[in-house]
Amino acid sequence: MNSTRILVTGAAGFIGFHLSKRLLESGHQVIGLDNLNDYYEVGLKESRLTILKGFSGFTFHRADLENKEAIDSLFSTSGFEYVINLAAQAGVRHSITHPYVYLESNIHGFLNILEACRNNPVKHLIYASSSSVYGANKKMPFSVHDNVDHPLALYAVSKKTNELMAHAYSNLYSIPTTGLRFFSAYGTYGRPDMALFIFTKSILAGEPINVYNHGKMRRDFTYIDDLVESIVRLLPKVAVPNPDWNGLTPDPSSSFAPYRIYNIGNNSTVELIRYIEIIEEKLGRKAIKNLLPMQEGDVPDALADVEDLQRETDFKPATPIEVGVGKFIDWYLDYYKVKL
């Protein structure tokens, strides 16, 4: 890809920041959009933005996805070639206690993006889905070719809804859409509501950490650099109709319309207890563990089948958990000026 104009929504967020930085370093023009909400510390989002604003090719707009007038105005005046929608209300547990936020941001907001793409055609719309859509599925590894009809929390419902909405617009208006099901993303400048951040902060403070399902959960942890590399490689791989798609035996990952779904994961699992041990090793301190039963809306295991991603991009996430956790802790200690 030559230098192009790319809209990244959620640009001040964890994934949006890293992706925007990578695109800017590659010479692209990035128009970042974010509402800088206070779901977690705004200062961290502002720190990410400060780095992005150091690039001449970066322009920032503060707005809500739900603000149709603002989204329409941005699209009509900016001439985007590609759109990467990462803005969303995050958090499985938060969706249980604050359900209406997910309808407004994740569904209403995404509708505004789809409508804007319909009225201002783009080459490719990529959007964030989530591994949580697999819900009650037990077949491992989780495959994009399997149905995902039993979500366990409203967050997963909102992401599955995004996939359905994207398909409808791909069908009706030939908008090429690609949904990415992210698996347990982690890394530098990560979100404070995620396990790695919470565990690191609590262990350093000598405070207990909540270990759900007694640590017997397995996750497919995906380092942020691998996740970004996957998106960058998929961006020019514009979704096209699958000529072999058959409505009698429908493949959920593709369509007669220009629509695709991919898993973005490491294709390997780490047990939660081992994850905590790695953090302890990197910090040189032991965690005080508060062993608890499984949380509502959670799943015991998650493992990504990434064959489709590898076939399409010739790339497979592979950063070892020890390396990724080490990079995060080095960043955390430096960012928060903590001395061991």
> Which residue numbers are catalytic?
155
CA distances from 220 to 17, 55, 318 (A): 22, 33, 11
Q: What is the four-CA torsion angle of 265, 270, 276, 278, rounded to 10 degrees?
A: -90
Residues forming a β-bridge with 185:
222
Q: Which two tokens stand for residue 202?
A: 């609590």
CB 141 within 8 A of CB 152: no
**How many other C-beta atoms can be found within 10 angstroms of the C-beta atom of residue 12?**
26
For 98, the token pair is 């604050």
Q: Which helix (H) or strand (E) holds 105?
A: none
**Residue 175, token pair as written in the block:** 């908008």
Residue 196 DSSP SS3: helix
Name residues whose C-beta falls within 8 Å of residue 156's C-beta, 6 or more positions apart in sequence. Answer: 92, 130, 132, 133, 135, 297
Exposed/middle/buried for 271, CB within 10 Å: 0-12, 13-18, 19+?
A: middle
> Are the C-beta atoms of residues 162 and 129 closer than 8 Å to each other?
yes
